[in-house]
Amino acid sequence: MCVHVASESVSLTLLAMPPLAALLTPWTIIQILVSLFLAILFLQSGLDKVIDWRGNLEFHRSHFANTPLAPTVVLTLVMITIIELIAGTLSALGCAMIVLRGHGALAFWGAVAAGVNLTMLFFGQRVAKDYGSAATLVPYFILTLIAIAVLGHPMM
């Protein structure tokens, strides 16, 4: 968008949104939806851990009590919570940037953080021999890999 002021052109490209037609492509819709999904998933999970820290800590202590991870429960829970909040925040901001600016670099890094987080969770569930919970993470991980692929290639 350009505004003419006394025969000089002032560019307002920072405020310009991509045309609606660019937002309605299947590729862009997929980018918006996967980043929004990851934002909801990881912001809710991370905020739940912050709001109910005591309950989450008690659960993790009992869940990992008889594993080699028992001494690291507090540290790993802090790490997982921080990475979830980073993944959710970057995904949310990235979704907004896709809509407002037409690029999803922040959403891409949010998806990468989500993949790291899910890998950490998967490792913990396998060590705890909670194979059912580990299996429930697989669809989220597959979606995250798809998000990384989709967000890493802005246009198809």
> Has residue 106 got a pLDDT over 60?
yes
More confident of the two residues 15 and 127: 127
If we measure between CA atoms, which residue out of 98, 112, 99 comes closest to residue 38? 112
> Which pLDDT belongs to residue 37?
98
Three-class SS of 93-155: HHHHHHHHHCCCHHHHHHHHHHHHHHHHHHHHHHHCCCHHHHHHHHHHHHHHHHHHHHHHCCC
Q: CA quadruple 49, 50, 52, 57: dihedral positive or negative?
A: positive
How confident is the model over 113-136, as a mean pLDDT?
A: 97
> Which pLDDT belongs to residue 155?
62
How confident is the model over 58-84, as a mean pLDDT?
A: 96
How confident is the model over 95-113, as a mean pLDDT?
A: 94
> Which pLDDT belongs to residue 1?
43
List phi, psi (to 5°) of 138.
-60, -45
- pLDDT confidence tier of residue 140, bands split at 50, 70 and 90: very high
Per residue in 12-68, pLDDT (tens digit) is 444 566 677 767 889 999 999 999 999 999 999 999 999 999 999 999 999 999 999
> Has residue 125 got a pLDDT over 50?
yes
> Has residue 9 got a pLDDT over 80?
no
Domain ranges, ordered by start, for the chain? 18-152
